[in-house]
Chains A and B, each alone.
Chain A
Amino acid sequence: MADPADLRADPETVRAQAEPGEAGAVEEVEEEQRSLMRRLLTANTSWTLLVLFSLVLGFTLARPTQFGTLFNFRNIAIDGATLLVMSVGMTFVIITGGIDLSIGSVLIFSGVIAAKAMAAVDHSQNGSISQILLGLLAALVVGLGWGLLNGVLIAKGRIPALIVTLGTLGMALGSAQLITGGVDVRGLPLMLGNTIGNGDLELTGMGFLFRIPWIVFVAAGVTILGGIALAATRFGRHTYAIGSNAEAARRAGIAVDRHLIRIYGLSGLLAGLAGFLNLAHFTTTTLGGHSTDNLQAIAAVVIGGTSLFGGIGSIIGTVVGVFIPAVLQNGFVIVGVQAFWQPVAVGAVLIAAVYVDQIKRRSSERE
């Protein structure tokens, strides 16, 4: 971001830097701001953001006392939270030009392992903090493990990501069912559901008491960190570079294989975290409930303006892409439209998003 002090700094230098005939300092500042805006609202994020706002506005006008309430917005945020966590990982993966179909299965597998780990150390009904932390750690470790396996097979084994993650999708889900015998694990510590799963984080500040659902707090934290990592760090820059031209990245000295392994590891890690959040929220392992998470995450990422061809995308777009379906789902129920309309509408938005992306691409690219 532009440091205002620096921009004001030295009109002499600024003018010297500008090409003769340019207006100098003012344009320099505008240039900085424009590039910032461009990065924040890349390509078609702006119009999907408009879609999201219109949906929220429309449903609010239709049912002001039901849809447009703080309580309902909280619900929407909670509904979208676990998918958002996975979609952040998916954004990185798709920007490298890859895909990760295994996240829903990894979510379930991680939840199962976390449940088993917690059951192994403490049998009290309420549970303990250390037990919960152990469950979290277990979920993260196995999630990371699946992700690294994906990454190694893709980067070192040169097997297409679609095939590798389709394979681990089956392996992770099947393993989870083998471990549980196909029956959902229940009897989780009550503390888990009451805190992380369905409890609020209470913050006081400026004389107010803020109550933020834990699950939303965690998802927001992941999203913000992911957004910064992607947009402003060397890690993010290498992610874009690999998706844009992997061979150029390799020749520029970027360790492409290692970076890809990290990216899939990150996706697995976040699926593991989502698995833990999901377990806490539903207080059961939901074995059958996540078979389309991968496609939902991919749809969210693509609606958010990230290109399936790699090299282009943003986390902020993904946030919008996650909440368009979530708002539609919630809004249709409240307005009384059959909920079956939701996938129809999401599908249309998805296709429209890619169509607009193609048009913009064709107009901006010379060749």
Chain B
Amino acid sequence: MTEPLLEARGIVKRFGHVRALQGADFAASAGEVIALIGDNGAGKSTLVKVLSGTLQPDGGEIRFEGRRVALPSPVAARSLGIETVYQDLALAPDLDSAANLFLGREQVRTGVLGWFGLLDNKAMRRQTDDSFRSLGIGVQTTTAAVKSLSGGQRQSVAVSRAVTWANKVLFLDEPTAALGVVATGKVLDLIRRVRDRGLTVVLVSHNMPEVLQVSDRIEVLRLGRRVATFKTSKASMEDLVGAMTGAISQAARPADSSGQAVDSRSDQGVG
């Protein structure tokens, strides 16, 4: 494995007495699709939020392109080229899709009008249209409020926003959880296309077939720690389920083809 693009070491995050992450590790190289899997409560979403600057870890370090970085806010992560599609999509339902795509990065008009913050809605709509088209996303109009769109269309808006602005890493937190078969297929296609542009895609999911279908590598979280990492081509459904549920402890296995044991601390399980 080459030098990871984004790496987390020993991340700890507590919510009151609940320890959501207890020394979690994570590594993602440029241009790969990594699936982050785990049972409910394993800490997947928390880890994504820490790595996207939404939550502040209580311990551990984050490294980006070999340097230790702090991600005190989503803005800090975004300035590194890290974008996230959150599970709740983080859209403003009363605003149209163009306004959502440019939320927090609104374009203002050139010249004097721009000094007063006058928005250039036409340019933003045009670019939103371009984005949708280049991603093959069918959101018919950029002027309808997001709340009037279907679930799949809303998802598309959130995904295109992240893809439009990401230039290094794209986090997708359960992007297909609410989608039908066709829309899910489209999202998976999109993930491959984004990877082909050279971006790293981190896919959080607990849909095993989907993970096996689209990812290059799989990292498994359990009870707030990384317990296993697999090359997708060499992983089976049983391996994944076993690692997720703790039925198979990787250290107990011979260091064979199906992956590498990653963290001596994680061997013992927790509960």
Interface, chain A (partner B; CB < 8 A):
2-3, 6, 17, 19, 31, 35, 38, 228, 232-235, 237, 240-241, 243-245, 247-254, 311-312, 364-367
Label chain A's interface by main secondary structure: helix
Complex contacts, B182 vs chain A, CB 8 Å:
none
Q: Which residue on A lies nearest to B146, using beta carbons?
A: A244
- 8 A Cβ contacts from B62-97 to A: 73-75, 78, 84, 86, 88-95
Contact yes or no, B74 A253, CB < 8 A: yes
Q: What is the CB-to-nearest-CB distance from A203 to chain B, in angstroms, rounded to a whole number?
A: 25
Contact yes or no, A252 B90, CB < 8 A: yes
Mark interface residues in B131-165 (1 if CB within 8 Å of A CB, else 0).
00000000011010101111100000000000000
Contact yes or no, A251 B95, CB < 8 A: no
Contact yes or no, B104 A244, CB < 8 A: no
Contact yes or no, A311 B122, CB < 8 A: no
Contact yes or no, B116 A364, CB < 8 A: no
Contact yes or no, B94 A234, CB < 8 A: no
B129 within 8 A of A: yes
What is the CA–CA distance of A245 and B95 in the complex, to the nearest angstrom?
10
Q: What is the CB-to-nearest-CB distance from B255 to chain A, in angstroms, rounded to a whole number?
A: 41
What is the CA–CA distance of A83 and B255 in the complex, to the nearest angstrom?
77
Contact yes or no, B95 A240, CB < 8 A: yes
**Among candidates A228, A234, A311, residue contacting B106 with C-beta atoms closer than 8 Å:** A234
Contact yes or no, A248 B74, CB < 8 A: no
Q: What is the CB-to-nearest-CB distance from A127 to chain B, in angstroms, rounded to a whole number?
A: 35
Complex contacts, B90 vs chain A, CB 8 Å:
245, 247-248, 251-252
What is the CA–CA distance of A365 and B151 in the complex, to the nearest angstrom?
12
Mark interface residues in B22-56 (1 if CB within 8 Å of A CB, else 0).
00000000000000000000000000000000100
Contact yes or no, A311 B105, CB < 8 A: no
Q: What is the CB-to-nearest-CB distance from A362 to chain B, in angstroms, rounded to a whole number?
A: 11
Please list the 9 inter-chain residue pairs (A to B) with the smallest Cβ-Cβ separation, ordered nearest first: A252-B104, A311-B94, A244-B92, A253-B104, A248-B90, A234-B117, A252-B103, A244-B94, A233-B117
Complex contacts, A252 vs chain B, CB 8 Å:
74, 90, 103-105
- Count B interface residues, CB 8 Å: 37
Interface centre among B93, B141, B150, B151 (most CB of A within 10 A): B93
Complex contacts, A244 vs chain B, CB 8 Å:
92-95
Q: What is the CB-to-nearest-CB distance from B257 to chain A, in angstroms, rounded to a whole number?
A: 40
Interface centre among A235, A237, A243, A252 (most CB of B within 10 A): A252
Complex contacts, B143 vs chain A, CB 8 Å:
31, 35, 38
**Among candidates A3, A235, A366, residue contacting B147 with C-beta atoms closer than 8 Å:** A366
What is the CA–CA distance of A248 and B99 in the complex, to the nearest angstrom?
12
Contact yes or no, B103 A364, CB < 8 A: no
Complex contacts, B118 vs chain A, CB 8 Å:
228, 232-233
Q: Which residue on A lies nearest to B153, using beta carbons?
A: A366
B248 within 8 A of A: no
Contact yes or no, A253 B92, CB < 8 A: no
Interface centre among A31, A244, A365 (most CB of B within 10 A): A244
Q: What is the CB-to-nearest-CB distance from A105 to chain B, in angstroms, rounded to a whole number?
A: 31
Complex contacts, B78 vs chain A, CB 8 Å:
253
Complex contacts, B150 vs chain A, CB 8 Å:
366
Contact yes or no, A253 B75, CB < 8 A: yes
Interface centre among B89, B116, B141 (most CB of A within 10 A): B116
**19 cross-chain CB contacts under 8 A:** A31-B143, A38-B143, A228-B118, A232-B119, A233-B118, A234-B108, A234-B119, A237-B119, A245-B90, A248-B89, A248-B103, A249-B104, A250-B74, A252-B90, A311-B93, A364-B147, A366-B147, A366-B148, A366-B150
Q: A240-B99, A366-B150 are in contact. List 12 more A-B contacts (CB 8 A).
A: A6-B122, A232-B118, A232-B119, A234-B119, A237-B95, A241-B95, A241-B104, A250-B74, A251-B74, A251-B84, A252-B103, A366-B151
Complex contacts, A3 vs chain B, CB 8 Å:
122
Q: Which residue on B lies nearest to A31, using beta carbons?
A: B143
Given contacts A2-B122, A234-B119, A366-B148, contact A253 B94 (CB under 8 A): no
Q: What is the CB-to-nearest-CB distance from A2 to chain B, in angstroms, rounded to a whole number?
A: 7
Complex contacts, A243 vs chain B, CB 8 Å:
94
Q: What is the CB-to-nearest-CB distance from B37 to chain A, in angstroms, rounded to a whole number?
A: 24
Interface centre among A17, A228, A366 (most CB of B within 10 A): A366
Complex contacts, B92 vs chain A, CB 8 Å:
240-241, 244-245, 248-249, 311
Contact yes or no, B116 A365, CB < 8 A: no
Q: Which residue on B lies nearest to A18, using beta carbons?
A: B129
What is the CA–CA distance of A163 and B215 in the complex, to the nearest angstrom?
51
What is the CA–CA distance of A250 and B74 in the complex, to the nearest angstrom?
8
What is the CA–CA distance of A217 and B118 in the complex, to the nearest angstrom?
24
What is the CA–CA distance of A283 and B145 in the complex, to the nearest angstrom?
47
Complex contacts, A254 vs chain B, CB 8 Å:
103-104
Q: What is the CB-to-nearest-CB distance from B167 to chain A, in angstroms, rounded to a whole number?
A: 16
Complex contacts, A250 vs chain B, CB 8 Å:
74
Complex contacts, B145 vs chain A, CB 8 Å:
364
Q: Which residue on A lies nearest to B92, using beta carbons?
A: A244
Q: Which residue on B lies nearest to A231, using beta carbons?
A: B119
Contact yes or no, B117 A241, CB < 8 A: no
What is the CA–CA distance of A179 and B150 in the complex, to the nearest angstrom?
58
Q: What is the CB-to-nearest-CB distance from B198 to chain A, in angstroms, rounded to a whole number?
A: 24
What is the CA–CA distance of A241 and B94 in the complex, to the nearest angstrom?
8
What is the CA–CA distance of A251 and B104 in the complex, to the nearest angstrom?
9
Complex contacts, B88 vs chain A, CB 8 Å:
247
Complex contacts, A247 vs chain B, CB 8 Å:
88, 90
Q: Which residue on A lies nearest to B93, using beta carbons?
A: A244
Q: What is the CB-to-nearest-CB distance from B135 to chain A, in angstroms, rounded to a whole number?
A: 15
Contact yes or no, A237 B91, CB < 8 A: no
Given contacts A240-B94, A366-B147, contact A251 B117 (CB under 8 A): no
Mark interface residues in B103-131 (1 if CB within 8 Å of A CB, else 0).
11110100000001111001000100100
